[in-house]
Amino acid sequence: MPDSIETTARVALSEVLPQELTPQAIDLDAELDHLGLTSLNKVLFLTSVCDRTQVGLHHFTEHDLAAMRTLGQVVEALSRHKEMS
């Protein structure tokens, strides 16, 4: 399951980045803000990836969302909650 979450997250992130990056070109450890992701685009990205993976955004507190600073951290958090469902 994490592979499909990772793929889904990569695609969703590539859709909101200001520069064109293929999903495969995004480094899992790159800071989202270093990729040019604005606060609004981070919300759009997280909402989209939660919808696509069927992991409710309600699982995450404001602190949890703020702590998701890399794509890898987003994938890890979503994977934990997907396994619970």
Give 1-25 pLDDT, tens digit per residue: 456 999 999 999 999 999 999 999 9
Residue 60, token pair as written in the block: 């995450």
**Res 59 pLDDT > 60:** yes
pLDDT at residue 24, rounded to an integer: 95
Domain definitions of the chain by residue range: 3-84
- Residue 70: count other Cβ atoms within 10 Å of its Cβ: 18
Indicate the pTM of the whole model.
Answer: 0.89
Residue 47, token pair as written in the block: 């909402």
The residues facing 31 across adjacent strands are: 70
Q: HSE (CB half, 13 Å, CA atoms) of 85?
A: 12
Q: What are phi and psi of 31, to 5 degrees?
A: -65, 130
Instruction: Please give the CATH superfamily to which domain 3-84 belongs.
Output: ACP-like (1.10.1200.10)
Q: How confident is the model at residue 29 (pLDDT cuts 50, 70, 90)?
A: very high
